[in-house]
Chain A
Amino acid sequence: MAKQQPFRRGRWSVKTDIQDFIYRNYSPYESGPEFLEKATARTRGLWKKVGELMAEERRRGGVLDIDADVPGGILSHGPGYIDRKHELIVGLQTDEPLKRAVKPVGGVRLVEKACRAHNKTLNPGIVDIYTRFRKSHNDAVFSIYTEKMKQLRRLGILTGLPDSYARGRIIGDYRRVALYGLNYLIAEKKGDLENIEGAMETKDIRQREEAADQIHALEQMLELGGMYGADLKRPAVSAQEAVQWTYLAYLAAAKESDGAAMSIGGLSAFFDCYIERDLKTGVLDEAKAQELIDDFTIKLRMIRQLRPPEYDQLFAGDPVWITLVLGGMGNDGRTKVTKTDYRFLQALRNLGPAPEPNLTVLYSPRLPKPWKDFCSEISIQTSSLQFENDDLMRPIAGDDYGVSCCVSLLKAGSQMQFFGARCNLAKALLLALNGGRDEIHGEPVVPGVPQLKGYYLDYDQVHENFMMVLSWLAAQYVKTMNLIHWSHDKYYYESAQMALLDTDVDRLMAFGIAGFSVVVDSLCAIRYAKVHPVRDENGLTKDFRINGDYPAFGNDDERADNRARDLVITFLTEVRKHAIYRRATPTLSILTITSNVLYGKKTGATPDGRQAGTPFAPGANPMYGRERNGALASLNSIAKLPYYAAQDGISNTFSIVPSALGKDLPEQRANLTDLMDGYFTRGGFQINMNVLDRELLKDAMKHPEKYPQLTIRVSGYAVHFTRLTREHQEEILRRMFHEII
């Protein structure tokens, strides 16, 4: 057996710097998938066991079991196993597979509700502690909200706020545990703590307290490793250890927090350094290397959090958003694709498609052709991938970054974000048309908005009112966000995740908008057609009559697309005018996840002709049925949206039937690669790719038991189609599939 070579040393050897480690030690791979191995009998056996547990979970209404007696934490439970003898990567969130822990610090009443929804009773002792002795995040926020904030929330103008669930969106750099070991990381944090002094004003004290909490979390992580026989004190010395150490670090985070999205960053090139080294010494062969990735994938697919029913309406399908980025290009011009990037895609074949981890291919037309074609093929076969523009993100973040949740860029190890859900811009427009009153109940919301006059809506007047509303709303939105995150930091701080980021972390605050294409089309309708608002006896708009035709978003038509650009830039500019908690940098997303259905339900009729209560298009998608020039024109409209003004991401959900993509698989694969080369060259940011027959989805609605693994991409993530509510399923079917007759 050859002797193990030490890794090439560099800056990373004297300072925490994973990018430098990868850059010096990784092996770019430019050929095709021929080397890949199928799942071994061991993997198949293990996955079968998990499959049975997941089937039982589905039978029990989506939750297998809850431990309602012990609040979750890094050391609250365990160890737990699926099948100890046959697991290569170990560690579960509780002592049994798929059993969920309760996390009352987020909000004890929400946990109570979630338990009740699954016929469990939360231990009264826990209820007592978290109502009488310890404030929860949820209670704290509602105690400090202003009445105006509560109104905006109640009316669905500010929506999906992380006040009744944990904010998530932080990506710890879990690789650090594998590369450096916890002894080193703890010593480094202690040094940082010592150096935080200043005048001991609030901000200095808070920073000291957080660093102390982080050190505590790292010490607990060490103990968690001990529970599973992993000596996390020291660096990993093999590929198996590198994967195991990294996973345990992530597990600690998933045990401590139940953030809405807990992504995992980019791991493939990092793991590949260890795997290549072990392949050289003969410790591993390809089948065993694949086993490690398959096992790691199985573990990620088993991460569970307990959610209250309201959460499901926003984020359907029980997602965790363990977003894992693959591929991309390096700053030095080499590709970042390694054999381990292929291995992660191969896991989709070996284990079948699934929503988690949320596989995100960082796309550049300069990627090696065999990799692009392989991604296209896997995408056609599984509809489980999303693609995001590496050429847009790399100049901002360098070549070592992760994607949080669906589309949010975060520099690895040095950046975090305060998640800000979204503001319903369609409602904002209706406030502008109703003198500042809410269109459904007539409640006065925005002061000083003039009532519109005239039979037809006058574009200039509407525009002026709308700008007034946006400006007022942005101020309220920022203030609300500041309160939420102050409370979250104080009552539900993510020590384990923050411990694996630089102590002096760079903070973003991610604002969002919903109802995007509804507003763009409405403005176009008012500008280019004649729109008559039908008002009820209280003068509230109930319907709109449109005379004439108008250019709609999604047709590569500058009249609409320019308005779309303006809307994004205007809203970000308004947000930027205000003081932001902890001097975070504001960013903006055009993303709805599955909440486009809920937001639509709460929104009255709009001037684009959309009926009251009907869903919005997801993310930045054009509205259904308004794309008249085919898919590429629609992609081009979305690609024009300015990423510099929406750096929290622009989501585009794309569905095409296989036969429209090409006559056979080789042609479909080549065409899909061409499509993505084109879209990303045009500056498109993201695409959720679905290659599916509508008939298949219809059948899956009728016979869900036949399709336990059917996975589709919705705005920014993947879900099991059969775990969506009927309402969400119908919305997806209604959505324009690109097909040619």
Chain B
Amino acid sequence: MKEPAGRVHSVETMGGRDGPGLRCVFFMAGCNFRCSFCQNPDTWSIRGSQSITLEEARERLIPLLPYLRSRGGVTASGGEPCLQSEFVVGLFKAAHELGLSTAIDTNGSCPPSKQERLLEVTDIVLLDIKACEDGLHRRITGKPLGPVLAFGKRAAEVPDRLTLRRVVLPGINDSADELEGLAEYALKLGFTPDIELIAYHRLGAHKWKELGMRYPLANLKPPTAAHMRKVAERLRKHGLTVAGD
């Protein structure tokens, strides 16, 4: 059988934020969401991406082992890595053979038929839930919320596997109702995940322009540190563990 090849936007050998320890992050090309705040719109399309075989991916990990082995590992991000779940499964198997942990940074749109195989080899799921109300989710991402929540539920079946992420867009997805909704969802899961807040920033805005697109959030200001603390406190009131403020 032919090995699956992946379409990769870029490989960042030193990720310090996407899972524990130092991580080699594969930014997979192609995304099914069109988030208005996206910081990497250049990863939406597979145009301009490089093709990489599993063997090549493994070759790239080996020189990094002394850095990654103690606590870190491999993260598949993107783009949306679940769209290339076969490649990611292969990558994660190779990572495990090398003694590395595996993490996926996803919007949750993994087709149900592929979920089991993917989750089997995934140590950490970083699930970014952009909104907890379907209408808002559709407005921000262009896609329905249901499958995202269903994927999270499945990921939470194994203790400590799931972390929920929320990019805080001031005045958009940080209302009292929204945060209530997120907390309620987290607490209902089989295993209560930690929540990681990420402050919206504009460092990716120039990429929209370079791609000839209008940046939809041109007037949105990044949240202040105080605002982030307030959001975190709100979630902590529910007994959740929250990082990122």
Q: Which residues of A contact B (CB under 8 A)?
A: 556, 628-633, 635-636, 659-664, 667-668, 670-671, 674-675, 677-679, 681-682, 738, 740-741
Contact = CB atoms under 8 A, between A and B. Distances in A.
Given A664-B243, A674-B71, A630 B12 contact: yes
Contacts of A663: 16-17, 196, 243-244
B63 A636 contact: yes
Nearest to B244: A663
B17 A674 contact: no
27 contacts: A630-B11, A630-B12, A631-B13, A632-B64, A636-B13, A660-B14, A660-B17, A661-B16, A662-B16, A662-B17, A663-B196, A663-B243, A667-B16, A671-B16, A671-B22, A671-B71, A671-B72, A674-B22, A674-B67, A674-B68, A674-B72, A675-B67, A677-B66, A678-B67, A740-B15, A740-B16, A741-B39
Nearest to A682: B66
Given A674-B21, A678-B66, 9 more contacts: A629-B13, A630-B11, A630-B14, A633-B13, A635-B67, A660-B14, A662-B17, A663-B244, A741-B40
Given A632-B24, A662-B16, A741-B39, A677 B243 contact: no
Nearest to A681: B66
Contact of A678 (B11, B16, B22): B22
Interface in B72-107: 72
B204 interface: yes
A557 to B, nearest CB: 11
B22 A660 contact: no
Contact of A628 (B10, B24, B70, B196): B10
Contacts of B24: 632
A679 B67 CA distance: 7
Contact of B21 (A630, A670, A740): A670
Nearest to B203: A741
Residue among B13, B20, B21 with the highest chain A CB neighbour number at 10 A = B13
Interface of B: 10-17, 20-22, 24-25, 39-40, 63-64, 66-68, 70-72, 196, 203-204, 243-244
Nearest to B199: A659
A678 B66 CA distance: 4
Contacts of A679: 66-67
The dominant DSSP class at the A interface is helix
Contacts of B67: 632, 635, 674-675, 677-679
Contacts of B243: 663-664
A674 B11 CA distance: 19
A738 B25 CA distance: 14
Contacts of B14: 630-632, 660, 675, 738, 740
Contacts of B63: 556, 633, 636, 682
A674 B10 CA distance: 23
Contacts of A633: 13, 63
Contacts of B70: 674, 677
A741 B43 CA distance: 13
A176 B14 CA distance: 45
A674 B63 CA distance: 14
A286 to B, nearest CB: 32
Contacts of A668: 16
Contact of B68 (A628, A662, A678, A738): A678
Contacts of A661: 16
A375 to B, nearest CB: 16
Contacts of B40: 741
Given A663-B244, A677-B70, A682-B66, A629 B11 contact: yes
A357 B199 CA distance: 39
Contacts of B12: 629-630, 740
Contacts of A636: 13, 63-64
B207 to A, nearest CB: 9
Contacts of B66: 677-679, 681-682
Given A675-B22, A677-B70, A630 B13 contact: yes
A632 B13 CA distance: 5
Q: Which 3 A-B pairs have the closest CB atoms?
A: A678-B67, A632-B13, A630-B13
B9 to A, nearest CB: 12
Contacts of A631: 13-14
A633 B39 CA distance: 23
B43 to A, nearest CB: 12
A698 to B, nearest CB: 15
A738 B11 CA distance: 14
Nearest to B198: A663
Nearest to A633: B13
A556 B61 CA distance: 11
Nearest to A637: B63
Given A629-B11, A663-B244, A740 B22 contact: no
Residue among A556, A629, A659, A678 with the highest chain B CB neighbour number at 10 A = A678
Contacts of B244: 663
A632 B17 contact: no
A660 B15 CA distance: 7
B16 A660 contact: yes
Contacts of A670: 21, 71
A668 B15 CA distance: 12
B20 to A, nearest CB: 8
Nearest to B63: A636
A674 B244 CA distance: 22
A670 B204 CA distance: 28
A632 B204 contact: no
